[in-house]
């Protein structure tokens, strides 16, 4: 399950976490020379941030983290700039509406609007389309693809999906329920999110496939890279989803990082750098492929 080559990064990661904790790095401290210019445009009323590398060869539809209730696309400008430079993908990052200012499924409505724009209007020509995000951004990515298939009979428009530590079962997988209180996404934090985003819904109602993608029919989904750490409360979400994608006839590459926490990708560690390199390699391998 865990690539033994990753074990060399564990001790450095332990030392960093012991000294600094696992709070996401402040994006204001990023190297400004690595930032790409950002173009902000409205797409059907939805703001998107566009970051273009010098020689684009793909388009990456990106959704930021934040449990549906906080965050914004600009906080990912640095990491998206690095990803764009590394992979050659134009990043289209969506400032979807947040809850409770807007009611669920407003974030998915916004995601669907931008995805349809990329597919139907082809604003960047015939470049291959990729999709993905971090945490709830990964959740939104998969639910958006399911909407495209079920509402618009669109499959194969996106050649791959990059899913980083998503929550695919809001009724709570075992790893969510059994996570220590010290985890970034503790059971208490997860339950507060449930109550805010899905007020009054029972566990069975939370298993509706329009909320929890783990319970959806997953046929027709593009190849996926699933990235998650063993010290993450949503570990089981990625483990279970990978198995269900493959059972549905899809391709799922599962990368599990030892002792890595939910926000480990934002930390200045060798483990995070290795994860980013593997994501870039996966995306590049699908830049010229249509599913």
CATH number of 88's domain: 3.40.50.1820
For residue 134, is it within any domain? Answer: yes
Q: Has residue 254 been placed in a domain?
A: yes
Structural domain contains residue 291: no
Q: What pTM was estimated for this model as a whole?
A: 0.96
How far is the C-alpha of 154 from the C-alpha of 129, rounded, in Å? Answer: 13
Residue 110 lies in a domain: yes
Q: Which DSSP helix (H) or strand (E) runs through 60?
A: strand 58-63
Answer for the pair 108, 142: CB distance below 8 angstroms, yes or no: no
Contact 67, 139 (CB under 8 A): no
Phi first, then psi: what are they for 63, rounded to 5°? -130, 130
290 within domain boundaries: no
CA nearest neighbour of 95 among 119, 121, 76: 76
Domain that holds residue 18: 4-285
- The widest CA-to-CA distance across the chain, in whole angstroms, is 50
Q: Is the dihedral of CA 153, 156, 157, 159 positive or negative?
A: positive
Q: In the Cβ-directed half-sphere of 160, how many Cα atoms lie within 13 Å?
A: 23
- What is the tally of structural domains in the chain? 1
- In DSSP terms, 40 is beta-bridged to 49
Judge whether 272 lies within some domain.
Answer: yes
Q: What is the pLDDT along the chain (291 residues), one digit of tens a residue?
A: 788 899 999 999 999 999 999 888 776 666 777 899 999 999 999 999 999 999 999 999 999 999 999 999 999 999 999 999 999 999 999 999 999 999 999 999 999 999 999 999 999 999 999 999 999 999 999 999 999 999 999 999 999 999 999 999 999 999 999 999 999 999 999 999 999 999 999 999 999 999 999 999 999 999 999 999 999 999 999 999 999 999 999 999 999 999 999 999 999 999 999 999 999 999 999 986 543
């Amino acid at each position: 399950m865990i690539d033994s080559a990753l074990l060399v990064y564990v001790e450095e990661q332990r030392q960093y976490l012991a000294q600094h904790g696992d709070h996401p790095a402040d994006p204001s401290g990023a190297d400004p020379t690595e930032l790409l210019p950002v173009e902000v445009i409205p797409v059907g009323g939805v703001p998107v941030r566009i970051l273009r590398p010098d020689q684009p060869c793909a388009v990456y539809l990106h959704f930021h983290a934040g449990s549906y209730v906080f965050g914004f696309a600009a906080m990912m400008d640095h990491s998206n700039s690095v990803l764009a430079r590394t992979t050659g993908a134009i990043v289209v990052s969506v400032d979807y509406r947040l809850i409770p200012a807007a009611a669920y499924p407003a974030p998915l409505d916004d995601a669907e609007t931008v995805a349809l724009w990329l597919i139907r209007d082809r604003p960047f020509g015939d470049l291959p389309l990729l999709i993905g995000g971090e945490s709830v951004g990964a959740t939104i990515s998969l639910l958006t693809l399911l909407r495209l298939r079920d509402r618009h009979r669109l499959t194969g428009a996106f050649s791959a999906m990059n899913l980083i530590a998503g929550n695919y079962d809001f009724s709570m997988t075992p790893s969510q329920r059994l996570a220590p209180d010290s985890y970034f996404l503790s059971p208490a934090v997860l339950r507060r999110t449930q109550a805010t985003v899905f007020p009054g819904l029972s566990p069975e109602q939370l298993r509706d496939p329009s909320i929890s993608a783990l319970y959806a029919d997953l046929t027709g989904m593009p190849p996926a890279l699933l990235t998650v750490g063993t010290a993450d409360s949503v570990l089981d979400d990625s483990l279970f989803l990978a198995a269900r994608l493959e059972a549905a006839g899809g391709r799922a590459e599962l990368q599990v990082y030892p002792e890595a926490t939910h926000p480990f990708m934002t930390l200045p560690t060798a483990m995070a750098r290795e994860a980013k390199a593997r994501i870039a390699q996966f995306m590049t391998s699908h830049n010229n492929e249509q599913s």
